[in-house]
Structures are given as structure tokens and as C-alpha cells.
Copies of this chain bind each other. A is one copy, B any other.
Amino acid sequence: MRFDVTILGSSSATPIYNRNPTAQALNINERFYLIDCGEGTQQQMLRYDIKSSRIDYIFISHLHGDHYLGLVGLLSSLNLNGRKKPITLFGPAHLKDIIQMHFEYSETTIQFDLEFRATDPSKSEIILDNQDITVETILLDHRIACTGFLFRQKRRLRKIIKERVEELQVPVEYYAVLKRGVDYFATNGQVYPNNELTTAAEEPRAYAYCSDTLYNESYFEQIAGVNLLYHEATFAHDMLDRANETHHTTALQAGEIAKITGAKKLLIGHFSARYKTLTDLLDEARSVFPETELAIEGKTFVIES
């Protein structure tokens, strides 16, 4: 099952030349999940050939402009382009007021169903559960209410070994229970262990999105062992005071979080505009967690087992 994330924006607060505010497009089994939607996200989708018409879900972490100011424009464009499919939008309660005000003053009537579900910044909970994944909120520690999002694939059924079941002439009605791991009891009384007739489905993978936040251990347990951890790393560690003051994380801390929580891989982003180049931030995170990559715009990262 396809599970990857394309970076659409990686700058914090103010954009700089070649770095846009935060947005990410997750492709999970050919459905698109947009995480945050900074100003210019719809232009970035055009640039990197992510079809905005394919987005089914949008998740907004918090109401700082660099995480949501592209949302009204994106929804307007989808509407103008004739969208009919519904969109489910998750975000802080006040986001609804903001969207309504824009549409009221521009006299816009959205022609598709925009289902808004307010996130609760007081408790972590599963906010989405569909055939492919569950999504949980992660309670982050920012200056204003902010939640991250944890995407967990569901465990899929075991796969039938076609040649083997045909050879044994297993009736088709048995396939559903075989996929669930049950052994096969043949009419002649012989028992075939399930693992002779099926192979295990791939291990479910998980992607955690943690931005924006102060280093805070409260969410470490929840994200333990994820396959890919996206963590903000706004500053280098020599700016720790500034990071604490503004409720952000340093690249070194992001590396430590990945190490402590046992992430398989780390992706850092949300870079301050003060960094023209990013290699120092990468080196810093890698000094404690070698499996680190930079959230470079336009790049797609596969969430691997």
C-alpha cells in the first residue's frame, strides 16, 4: 500500500526565497491527506504536480498563519474548479469562523460538502478511522493550542498463496477466514497450518507529524517506534533560548526525540528564515540520530517498514 509524504512547504513563520510555509501532502493508498496549508500551498501543488482535486482530508495543526493561510484560497479554487466530492477538514474550532467570514464577505457558496471537525487541544484522540488508517491527534506544546497528527496504517489481512490453495482445492468460501489467520481443515481431516497457505501482510507503518512544539516529553510515548517522524527543527541548538521562548524545537532536540522514541527515520523541517542553507541543521540532528533527512520542498519521502 502506497504511503508517502511530499513536502510542499518547510519554512517557519516568514517565507524566504525558495522556502514556503508549512504544508505536506500524504498519499495513502492513492488518497490524499493534506497536513497544514500555509500561504501558497495551492501554488506549490501546481508546481509539484499534486492534484488538489484528489485531496479528501485536510488537517490544520494550529492557527498561526504559516500553517493555514493557504486554506481559504485552496477551498475557493477547488470550488471554482467544480469540485463535488466532500472534504473533511480537521482543525482548531475557530478555523470554522475564519472560513465562514471569508466566504460570507466574498459571497461565495461552496458547492461541495465541507465537513468541519474541530480538534480538541485538551486530549489526544482518534479523529479519523477509515479503511486504510487511523489518525490520532498529538498534544503539542506551542504558544497557542496546537495538535500534531499520527497516521497509523491498519493491519491488513494475510495474503492467500494462490498456487497452494488451488493445488489443495480449498473452497473459495474459506478464503476470508484464511486471510484472518485460521488454519485450513480439509474434508479428509488433514490440517494445514495457515502460514502454509498465506503470507503475512506487511507490518502497518506509522507517520507522526509534530509541528509546532517545544521539546516536551508528554507526547514521546504516543509516537514511540513510528516509521517516519516529521519533527519541527526551527532553530539550531545555539538558539535554544529563542526556541524555548517561542515554543519551538532545535535540530539537536529533534534528533534526540527521534532517538528516545525509537523512530526508524526522522525528517526535520519548519526552518527559520535565518538559515539560508540547511546543512548545519541536518548535521546537528544527525549527530544524535543519523537517519535524518531535510524536508526539502518537492521531495517525496516513502514511509518505509
Question: Which A residues form the contact surface with B (CB < 8 A)?
Answer: 13-17, 20-21, 39-40, 42-43, 46-47, 63-66, 69-70, 72-73, 76-77, 80-81, 92, 94, 97-98, 101-102, 105-108, 143-144
Contact = CB atoms under 8 A, between A and B. Distances in A.
Nearest to A49: B17
Contacts of A42: 14-15, 39
A42 B98 CA distance: 21
A92 B105 CA distance: 10
30 contacts: A13-B80, A14-B76, A14-B80, A15-B42, A15-B46, A15-B77, A16-B46, A17-B46, A17-B47, A21-B73, A39-B42, A39-B43, A39-B69, A39-B73, A40-B40, A43-B43, A63-B105, A65-B72, A65-B106, A65-B108, A66-B76, A69-B69, A69-B102, A97-B101, A97-B105, A98-B105, A101-B101, A106-B144, A107-B143, A107-B144
A24 to B, nearest CB: 18
A77 B14 contact: yes
Contacts of A15: 42-43, 46, 73, 77
Contacts of A21: 73
A14 B80 CA distance: 8
Contacts of A63: 105-106
B77 A13 contact: yes
A70 B39 contact: yes
Nearest to A38: B73
A131 to B, nearest CB: 31
A72 B73 contact: no
A279 B27 CA distance: 37
Residue in A17, A69, A94 with the greatest tally of chain B CB atoms within 10 Å: A69
A66 to B, nearest CB: 8
Contacts of A98: 101-102, 105
Given A15-B77, A17-B47, A69-B72, A106 B64 contact: yes
A47 B16 CA distance: 9
A69 B74 CA distance: 11
Nearest to A15: B43
A40 B44 CA distance: 10
Contacts of A108: 65
A40 B39 CA distance: 6
A69 B43 CA distance: 13
